[in-house]
Chains A and B, each alone.
Chain A
Amino acid sequence: MDVFANLATGFGAAVTPANLVFCLVGCLLGTLIGVLPGIGPIATIAMLLPITFGLDPLSSLIMLAGIYYGAQYGGSTTAILVNLPGETSSVITCIDGYQMARRGRAGAALTIAALGSFFAGCVGTVVIAAFAPVLAGFAEKFRSPEYFSLMLFGLVAAVVLANGSVIKAVAMVILGLLFGLVGTDTQAGVTRFTFGVSELYDGIDFVPLAMGLFGFAEMMGNLEKKLEDRSSTQKIDSLWPTREEAKLAVPAVLRGTIIGSFLGILPGGGAVMSSFASYTLEKKVSKSRAMFGKGAVEGVAGPESANNAGAQTSFIPLLTLGIPSTPVMAIMVGAMMIQGIAPGTALLTEKPTLFWGMIASMWVGNLMLVIINLPLIGLWVALLKVPYRMLFPCILILCCVGAYAISSSTFLVMMMAGISVLGYTFNKLGCECAPFLLGFVLGPLMEENLRRSMVLSFGSPTIFVERPISLVLLLMSLALLAMIVLPSFRKTREDAFQE
């Protein structure tokens, strides 16, 4: 397999002037929404998804990838400048990034984050290009039992990584699975839980669900709080890090990239886990441990690179197995389905241009980020000063138009209103919506694979432990669950979310 020839095909397809514009617009919009407080990548992508409907599949995926990276980076910007993480994966960046900003090194912190992310993104792209075909080949051995076990593993990971109570996260996954089963049962041809509403025959539409749960629920929460003054007082004098800062940053970026690339591949891993692991490692290997929490350069460089590498490689399970391993990837699946693309092994063999084009576009997206972010940093800072009372009506309208545009149905708009109440309630009750969303996406897939497995084995559940790959996946799920029960891990997990 020639990685570089493949990448060349991809670049040929992705790097057209039109696609570059889409990617740029995606990055800009993603950053724009991503820097708004309380709106993470999931909400951002959900809100911007409708904009990509009219495009051809490759362009729309390229734009979405741009939005994703933009949102990711936008979160880091607010973390550094105003100590507000836009998303979980930049929580860690707040610790030292904001401290750097307070010492007047905001510019340097942003540059380190951007360049570190870019480097990690490049490596991540190569990792995908190199491993995706290998993994796709491996995935050809997968049958229903393996898929089922793999999804189970993904759900277990989502539970373990969820913030707060484990048992509530499990309940949220189950509830998500149930919501996912709404619609026509294709094997029996019976409609389930549809109340006779024709809009529900194909299942609950993903976009209004995600917008309601994440966009609106967060909006309601934000409006309740007296928002603190978000205008940053720091002047950004120089964008360039000093020589000493660079010396500290480079090895941290390298370590972060390696950790991120590796953890991103694991289902449920992704960006959050990567940035946390990287921060812990940097703290361990650093010679000046006392600096951590007071503006350590490594504390920004490592986690930022790691979360970007992780964000990148978490595409691998999606592209090769068709399984979304994180909520963000679940949104990407939703987007691909809308475009009529079924992610999975077949994508690589049947639509190689699309597959490699998308991978190439990830790299382009990363490059765009550096290009738009460093010169435009002043603009983002200015945006932070726009009062929230003017921003949220615009966001609300964008979501409404988006939900309506999916199928010109007012039912979806009304459903979104209902779901936002549900999302708000979940937030109030300390129930995380991310596991719910993952369960929702995996629900129908799991049911189908469970059924097929049972037909294969004539109703004997031992099929899941008799097949080696499936057994390994189940054992891994068990190990993850066991970790939660262990008191020492539990403590680290709590600490992780405390910080």
Chain B
Amino acid sequence: MVRVKSPQDFWAGLLFICFGALALFLGRNYAFGTVTRMGPGFLPTVLAWILFGLGVIIAVRGIALDGPSIAPGKWRPQIFILLAIVLFGLLIERVGLAPTVFVVGVVAAFASIEVKWKEAVLLSAGVALLSILLFIKLLGQSMAPWMWSP
């Protein structure tokens, strides 16, 4: 088992390798063309190979050279933030702006460990009303303030 000396570099390298490989795979059918008449696949293919190569170098360096470790992450902020964004996408066209903003606000508040129930509900309600004022009345965005029909 090889010990990875710089986890940051190693995983970053792997990420670049994956992206390079993915681009090569997805772009395999785009016409390459010639240097004079470049096809749609020319630059993507060249860039993907460069990215792939850089990824390999970075990953190998990550194994060989000492470097920073990855700061441990916490799941809570990410999960709630993502959930809030996705909920916004799911709700906005179904229930309208104000209810969406309210729900999203409450869910988002839970991303912080310092969350307080009452405060989150009140704040979200306030922001929901404000958002109608700001986005619909003031900025004239074409969004329904609320819709109750599913």
Chain A contacts of B123 at CB under 8 A? 390, 393-394
Given contacts A167-B58, A425-B15, A429-B15, contact A393 B124 (CB under 8 A): yes
Residues of chain A within 8 A (CB-CB) of B101 are 397, 401
Contact of B9 among A165, A193, A220, A396 (CB under 8 A): A165
A-B contact pairs, 5 of them (CB 8 A): A165-B9, A393-B105, A394-B105, A397-B88, A447-B43
Interface: A378 (CB within 8 A): no
Closest to B80 in A: A223
Interface of A (DSSP majority class): helix
Contact call B51/A178, Cβ cutoff below 8 A: yes
From A192, A400, A429, A430, give the contact of B44 (CB < 8 A): A192
User: How many residues on chain A are close to B (CB under 8 Å)?
Assistant: 60
Q: 8 closest pairs, A vs B, by CB?
A: A459-B36, A223-B77, A413-B89, A459-B35, A429-B12, A185-B40, A389-B112, A393-B108
B88 near A178: Cβ-Cβ < 8 Å: no
What's the Cα separation between A129 and B70 when bound, in Å?
47
Is there contact, CB below 8 Å, between A455 and B37? yes
Most A-side CB within 10 Å, residue of B15, B31, B143: B15
Does B64 sit within 8 A of A, measured CB to CB?
A: no
Chain A residues with Cβ below 8 Å from B111 are 220, 223, 392
**Nearest Cβ in chain B — how far from A268, in angstroms?**
20
List CB contacts (< 8 Å) of B103-142 with chain A.
104-105, 108-109, 111-112, 114-116, 119-120, 123-124, 127, 131, 135, 139-142
Q: Mark B74-111, 1 if CB is under 8 A from A, else 0.
A: 10111001101110111011000100010011001101
Taking CB atoms, residues of chain A closer than 8 Å to B48 are: 178
**Are the CB atoms of B135 and A405 closer together than 8 Å?**
yes
A181 engages B43 (CB within 8 Å): yes
Name A414's closest neighbour in chain B (CB-CB): B89
Name the B residues within 8 Å of A170 (CB-CB): 54
Cβ distance B14 to chain A, nearest Cβ, rounded Å: 9
CB distance from B97 to the nearest CB of A (A): 8
By a CB distance below 8 angstroms, the chain B residues around A54 are 139-141
Chain B proximity of A190: nearest CB distance (Å)? 4
Q: Does B146 contact A (CB under 8 A)?
A: no
The residue from B51, B85, B93, B97 contacting A420, defined by CB atoms under 8 A apart: B85
Query: Number of B residues whose C-beta is below 8 Å from A?
Result: 71
Q: Is A7 an interface residue (CB 8 A)?
A: no
Find out whether the CB atom of A168 lies under 8 angstroms from the CB atom of B85: no
Q: How far is the CB of A433 from chain B (nearest CB, A)?
A: 13
Q: Assess A417 versus B51: contact at CB under 8 Å? Given A51-B139, A168-B12, A188-B40.
A: no
Complex contact B84–A396 (CB within 8 A)? yes
A413 in contact with B92 (CB, 8 Å): yes
**Contact present for B19 and A175 (CB under 8 Å):** yes
A175 to B15, CA, bound (A): 11
Asked whether, in the complex, the Cβ of A393 is within 8 Å of the Cβ of B54, the reply is: no
Query: B147 in the interface, Cβ–Cβ < 8 Å?
Result: no
Task: Give A52's nearest chain B residue, CB to CB.
Answer: B139
Q: Is A224 an interface residue (CB 8 A)?
A: yes
A424-B12 contact, Cβ under 8 Å, with A171-B51, A174-B50, A193-B23: no
Contact present for B57 and A188 (CB under 8 Å):
no
A170 to chain B, nearest CB (A): 6
By a CB distance below 8 angstroms, the chain B residues around A177 are 43, 47
Q: A390-B123, A392-B111 are in contact. List 13 more A-B contacts (CB 8 A).
A: A170-B54, A175-B19, A177-B43, A178-B44, A224-B74, A400-B89, A417-B82, A424-B73, A428-B8, A428-B71, A429-B9, A447-B43, A451-B38
Q: Mark A161-181, 1 if CB is under 8 A from B, else 0.
A: 000010110110011011001
Please tell me if the beta carbons of A401 and B135 are within 8 angstroms of each other in the complex. yes
Give, as a whole number of angstroms, the nearest-CB distance from B126 to chain A: 9
A393's partner among B26, B78, B120 (CB-CB below 8 A) is B120
